[in-house]
Structures are given as structure tokens and as C-alpha cells.
Amino acid sequence: MANKQLTDSDLKLLLEKQESILIKFLEFSQRQFAESDQVGLDGLMSQKDHCFEELQKIDSLLEKWHSQYDRPLRSDEQKLDVNLQVLLEKILLSEKDFEKVVGREKKAVSLQIAELSRQMQYRKGPIQQSAKIKNMLT
């Protein structure tokens, strides 16, 4: 589609393609909460990156279409546009929630590192001498 001239009817195809990519992106976004393996999480991030790249291509085609055809959306295109907005909102919420989870985990790890650092400093310090009992004269 990138090499040919866009037609008026291509808008619906572009919106449908964008919708299918956003659905995949949302699935990957929600699956990242359940992924405990770093390799699996990296794979999901890679898949999300791929979806994002595809969305950028679709966006450029949509811009091209809108520059060629200046008309209001038809009813079926409006429905797709509404669906796209709903999907984008769900993705945004999912990504923000995941960011919170990662932030909490990062904070917990930072606290653990700080505690380990304190323990190491304590161990590196001079050996505490045991209290000596003085002979007191009475």
C-alpha cells in the first residue's frame, strides 16, 4: 500500500489495520504483567516495539490519505475511529499500571541494595570490642 496511490476507500483499510495492530499491542501490554521470566518479558517488549513501528507506518499513510482526501469520516469509519480511541485509552492505562509495578519493584530493589550496603559497612567496620567490666572499688 505504501508504493501505490491511495484511494478514497483505503481509509477504512488503514483504520482496520491500525485497529488490529492496537489489539495485538494491548494483548502484549497486558501479558507483561504475568511474565516473570526476563527473557519472556524482553520478547514481549520486542513484539510491542514491532507493533509500534507498524503503527508509525500506518500513521504516515493516514497522514498521506488525509492530505489527499479532505472529507469527513463515514459512519463505518467513525465507528472504527471510536474503537481506536478506546483501544488507545486501554493501552495507556495498561502501560501506566505496568510502569507503577516496575516502579514499585525498582524501589524495593533500591531499598534492598541500601540495606545490604549498610550491612556491608557494618561488617567492614572495626570489630566491636566487648564491654569490659571494670573492677570497682567499694
119 assigned to some structural domain: no
Structural domain that includes position 58: 10-93
| pLDDT the model gives residue 133 | 55
Total structural domains within the chain: 1
**HEC string of 73-116?**
CCHHHHHHHHHHHHHHHHHHHHHHHHHHHHHHHHHHHHHHHHHH
111 assigned to some structural domain: no
| pLDDT the model gives residue 81 | 97
| pLDDT the model gives residue 63 | 95
55 assigned to some structural domain: yes
| pLDDT the model gives residue 22 | 97
Q: One digit per residue, pLDDT tens: the chain, 138 residues?
A: 556 789 999 999 999 999 999 999 999 999 999 998 889 999 999 999 999 999 999 999 999 999 999 899 999 999 999 999 999 999 999 999 999 999 998 898 898 898 888 888 877 765 555 555 556 565
Is residue 58 within 8 Å of residue 17, measured between CB atoms? yes
Task: Please name which of 98, 91, 77 lies closest in space to residue 22, comparing C-alpha atoms.
Answer: 91
77 assigned to some structural domain: yes
112 assigned to some structural domain: no
14 assigned to some structural domain: yes
